[in-house]
Amino acid sequence: MELYGTKGIMPDREIINAIIIQLNHFKFRRSSISYQYLIDAIYLVVKDRNVVRDFKKNVYLPISIKYNTKPENVQWTLSKLVELMYANTSAEVIYNYFKFFIDEKPTLKYFIVAVARNVYEEISDKYLMY
């Protein structure tokens, strides 16, 4: 599986820009490598929804290869990034985005899939093929 490949209906740059727009709802340290991992993870889900069946193999592994690290490191780093985001983003923003109660926090996988779904819906209107 390639990251930022040339195949597909939607231009990759447009997908990445849409991901960044969605992530701007939340407070992240955008200069960290884990933020780039998150963009890559969401990108992979947008490009192929079937990757969610095995996150370790289909999401964490390709990212770990790209950055020359281990899939476990990618997952751990993403978990910490999202945990910090929950601590730094207002509960109201999180609720409005996910429709979760204030004291609930979506899992890492749910976070990635939900953002990917919003990205896909945002850009699919322009590129939907029948």
* pLDDT more than 70, % of the chain: 85
For the chain, give the mean pLDDT: 86
Q: What is the DSSP letter of 4?
A: S
Residues 50-90: pLDDT tens digits? 999 999 999 999 999 999 999 999 999 999 999 999 889 98
Q: How much is the pTM?
A: 0.86
Domains of the chain with bracketed CATH = 32-127 (1.10.10.10)
Confidence grade of residue 2 (pLDDT, cut at 50, 70, 90):
very low
**For residue 103, what pLDDT band results from cuts at 50, 70 and 90?**
low
**CA distances in angstroms from 101 to 84, 97, 115, listed in the order given:** 18, 11, 18
